[in-house]
Amino acid sequence: MSVEIKVPTLGESVTTATIAKWLKQPGEAVKEDEPVVELETDKVSVEVAAPQAGVLGPQAVKEGDEVEVGALLATVEPGKAGAAPAAPKAVAAEKKVEAPATPAPAAQPAAGAVDSAAALPAARKIMAENGLSAGQVGQGTGLGGRITKGDVLGFLSQPQGAAPAAAPKVARKDDPREERVKMTRLRRTIARRLKEAQNTAAMLTTFNEIDMSGAMALRAEFQDSFVKKHGVKLGYMSIFSRAVIAALKEFPAINAEIDGEDVIYRDFINLGIAVGGPNGLVVPVIRDADKMGFAQIEKTISGFGKAAREGTLKLDELSGGTFSITNGGIYGSLLSTPILNSPQSGILGMHSIQERPVAVNGQVVIRPMMYVALSYDHRIVDGKEAVSFLVRLKQNVEDPRRLLIDV
């Protein structure tokens, strides 16, 4: 008996995915729980496995297609590997994906509007909710010129009354020495979200510098004992995480977010830690980080780093953050202005540690120094709060004993 393979639940707020790559072809033998197709969502890549052993049947969708949760991907037929089964079901399924999920919106389309069938399912849903036509949104960036969810959101983010779109520009003529590669869904989403953060928030960055001598001395003194007891190294990230948590409790607006005309304050801290993965930067979230000690934070970050490199991060590990930390110092960055991870109101940027001459008690000495940057949403966070937050962070990192006695 054949079994259907469908798009699984993709996590919080994720309703669509793109077929990134078929790992098995029709007629090939598959084992139970063996990955057969890779999906790419707004946040991470996901492998979908065969629910039973058998032979992969017709593929209902092609690589590059956008599919919704619950959509048919393929079937697993009983039997052994051999010739691929006929594919009438695949054609029908593909047509089903392309068919409009909702009736055309009541709003009158603009002159020369394209039929809404040119939009992908998630895009059609948002267009219907906002009374938009495909002609208003314009040419899509999806496969075959279809309108994507990102295209609609980009159109909606434009200021009301903006000037009409200019005439289509002449297609760029590629140089033979150039290579044109389509952006991945993840990269497109990163680009869109970063631009949305710039357009939405009143973003401002303030800076300070930290003498890392105290933190380095703490690590040197207790590293061996820490590893022996907890099985993980004491790193700077746990020290900064605990210092950030203490400062956020003192300045709660930086851990809050704006929702319409309301401000949502939180009695918990979900700390996003930016890590590099094979498909770009991702920000897994340490939930209830304010309840964790140094060792638990280090273990969680270490697990996130490994999962990011192996591409095994789960979708629910990438959502729900209330504040983020990014460490450009591991790549050699001396100074930067990090961009907010919407809808969060603050993000801390760490940087390289460099020995520099500084004045201490009237004497010029060489100390290991790090620049830190706090980008924040000025709509909710005042400049005084942002500067005070960094001063408290500086104090906590320069003398980590403060974190133990809560001063």
Which pLDDT tens digit goes with each residue over 186-210? Answer: 677 777 777 877 888 899 999 999 9
Residues 383 and 241 in one domain: yes
119 lies in some domain: no
Question: How far apart (Å, rounded) are the C-alpha atoms in residues 231 and 331?
Answer: 26
Asked about 378 being catalytic, the answer comes back as yes
Residues 248 and 395 in one domain: yes
pLDDT of the residue at 241: 97
The active-site residue, picked from 262, 290, 378, 399, is 378
Exposure string for 158-181, b = 16+ CB within 10 A, e = fewer: eeeeeeeeeeeeeeeeeeeeeeee
Residues 71 and 209 in one domain: no
pLDDT of the residue at 312: 82
| Domain total in the chain | 2
Residue span of the structural domain in which 314 resides: 204-404
pLDDT of the residue at 212: 97
- State which of 59, 77, 95 marks the end of a domain: 77
| Average pLDDT over all residues of the chain | 83
**Dihedral of the alpha carbons of 198, 203, 204, 209, in degrees to the nearest 10:** -80
- State which of 77, 111, 142 marks the end of a domain: 77
Q: Using an 8 Å Cβ cutoff, are 154 and 137 in contact?
A: no
Question: How far apart (Å, rounded) are the C-alpha atoms in residues 331 and 351?
Answer: 9
Instruction: Measure Cα distances from 275 to 107, 188, 196, 301 in Å.
Output: 44, 18, 21, 9
Question: How far apart (Å, rounded) are the C-alpha atoms in residues 279 and 220?
Answer: 35
pTM of the model: 0.64
Q: Using an 8 Å Cβ cutoff, are 107 and 132 in contact?
A: yes
- State which of 77, 107, 142 marks the end of a domain: 77
328 lies in some domain: yes
Question: How far apart (Å, rounded) are the C-alpha atoms in residues 153 and 197?
Answer: 13
Question: How far apart (Å, rounded) are the C-alpha atoms in residues 239 and 246?
Answer: 11
Kindly list the averaged pLDDT for each block of 10 residues, start to end, along the chain of length 407.
86 75 90 88 79 90 86 87 47 40 42 52 78 78 72 72 54 83 74 79 94 96 96 95 97 94 95 83 92 96 90 83 94 93 93 96 96 96 96 96 83
DSSP state letters, 361-401: TTEEEEEEEEEEEEEEETTTS-HHHHHHHHHHHHHHHHSTH
Q: Using an 8 Å Cβ cutoff, are 341 and 273 in contact?
A: no
112 lies in some domain: no
pLDDT of the residue at 91: 39
Instruction: Measure Cα distances from 364 to 348, 359, 384, 397, 398 in Å.
Output: 29, 4, 30, 21, 18
177 lies in some domain: no
- What is the number of other CB atoms lying within 10 angstroms of the CB of residue 59? 26
CATH number at residue 227: 3.30.559.10
- pLDDT tens for residues 263-288? 999 999 999 999 887 766 789 999 99
287 lies in some domain: yes
Asked about 382 being catalytic, the answer comes back as yes
Residues 234 and 381 in one domain: yes
pLDDT of the residue at 144: 63
pLDDT of the residue at 167: 54
Q: What is the DSSP letter of 340?
A: P
pLDDT of the residue at 86: 47
44 lies in some domain: yes
Q: Which residue in 185, 155, 136, 196 sits closest to 343, CA to CA?
A: 196
Q: Which residues contact 50 (CB under 8 A, 6 or more apart)?
A: 5, 24, 30, 31, 32, 33, 34, 35, 36, 56, 76
Helices and strands in the chain: count of H runs, count of E runs: 10, 19
Residues 209 and 64 in one domain: no
55 lies in some domain: yes
CATH number at residue 51: 2.40.50.100
Residues 235 and 384 in one domain: yes
